[in-house]
């Protein structure tokens, strides 16, 4: 009894604290209020990011994604005209486009990419200046004539497109968008309220910004290495010689030596390091050499 009274006399209660601090300053309260609002917004962004957690059915990876597959596909399709326009239109050579389609379809049909159920499309762009290949969320993949014409074999083309298919099925674009939302303190719900995936995707400023961002989509090093690995596995499933990918890296490195820095180099850095990984993959999976019936 005695003890309790003594402690209560010494320790300030919630009441006494409030009485002491309240009159001190209104400005202090305003700052505190702003701080609280800031924290709430940050917490909300964080928890909405966390709530997007899902396991990628193809790669088995835990990811944080706010887009549904349908939204990814819709957004990708919406960005196609912009991509085509920026790279000099569609390539006019129907045979080259047919070869690209043939290789791309073979890669998807024979590999685990088919289970991802993305509607893959492979587009050859007329651009003869910019050496590049890229993928949009949802299955739209592209290669410029500048890169296409530098490739020497079908397996090299398969290597490039396998890598891009890797970006799609690992959902790197959608993951990047989720991360961007987190940094900007936005929620997927707000952004995607404008896009119900399929029927209507309204041209809000935010949507335009998102799609604009895809033009210069840069993935992290981790994403690139993952796509390399997925691409090699996709090549092997489709009986393409995976070692052709080392030559692709050399071609890119050679192109990088010129006056014009190819875009593929900035989005796909360090060909040297990646060659080593490719060689390790080939060694591990084909210690006896590449089977004779594989396409070179």
Using CB under 5 A as the criterion, which residues of the chain lie in contact with Zn ion when the complex forms?
Answer: 224, 227, 268
Given the complex with Zn ion, which of 162 and 188 has the nearer CB atom?
162
Q: Which long-range contacts (CB under 8 A, 24 or more apart) does 211-218 make?
A: 211/75, 211/78, 211/79, 211/82, 212/82, 213/177, 213/180, 214/75, 214/79, 214/136, 214/137, 214/173, 215/79, 215/82, 215/83, 215/86, 217/134, 217/136, 217/173, 217/176, 217/267, 218/266, 218/267
Given the complex with Zn ion, which of 130 and 191 has the nearer CB atom?
130
Beta bridge partners of 202: none
Q: How far apart are CA 86 and CA 83, in angstroms?
A: 5
Given the complex with Zn ion, which of 196 and 270 has the nearer CB atom?
270
CB of 127 to Zn ion, least distance (A): 17
Count of C-beta atoms within a 10 Å radius of residue 168: 27
Given the complex with Zn ion, which of 204 and 276 has the nearer CB atom?
276
CB of 85 to Zn ion, least distance (A): 22
CB of 71 to Zn ion, least distance (A): 22
CB of 227 to Zn ion, least distance (A): 5
CB of 133 to Zn ion, least distance (A): 8
Given the complex with Zn ion, which of 224 and 263 has the nearer CB atom?
224
């Amino acid at each position: 009894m005695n003890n309790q009274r003594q402690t209560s006399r010494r320790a300030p209660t919630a009441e006494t604290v409030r009485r002491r601090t309240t009159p001190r300053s209104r400005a202090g309260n305003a700052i505190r209020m702003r701080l609280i609002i800031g924290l709430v917004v940050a917490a909300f962004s964080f928890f909405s990011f966390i709530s997007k957690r899902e396991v990628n059915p193809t790669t088995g990876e835990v990811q944080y994604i706010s887009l549904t597959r349908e939204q990814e596909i819709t957004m990708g399709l919406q960005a196609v005209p912009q991509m085509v326009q920026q790279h000099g239109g569609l390539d006019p050579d129907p045979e080259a486009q047919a070869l690209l389609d043939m290789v791309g379809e073979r890669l998807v049909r024979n590999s685990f990419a088919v289970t991802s159920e993305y509607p893959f499309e492979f587009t050859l762009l007329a651009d003869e200046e910019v050496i590049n290949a890229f993928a949009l969320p949802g299955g739209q993949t592209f290669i410029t004539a500048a890169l296409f014409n530098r490739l020497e074999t079908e397996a090299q083309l398969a290597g490039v497109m396998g890598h891009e298919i890797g970006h799609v099925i690992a959902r790197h674009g959608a993951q990047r968008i989720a991360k961007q939302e987190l940094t900007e303190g936005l929620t997927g719900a707000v952004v995607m309220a404008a896009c119900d995936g399929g029927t209507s995707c309204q041209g809000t400023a935010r949507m335009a910004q998102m799609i604009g961002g895809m033009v210069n989509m840069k993935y992290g090093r981790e994403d690139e290495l993952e796509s390399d690995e997925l691409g090699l596995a996709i090549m092997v499933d489709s009986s393409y010689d995976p070692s052709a990918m080392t030559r692709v890296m050399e071609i890119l490195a050679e192109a990088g030596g010129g006056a014009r820095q190819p875009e593929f180099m900035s989005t796909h850095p360090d060909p040297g390091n990646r060659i080593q990984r490719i060689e390790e993959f080939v060694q591990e999976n084909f210690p006896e050499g590449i089977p004779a019936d594989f396409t070179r």
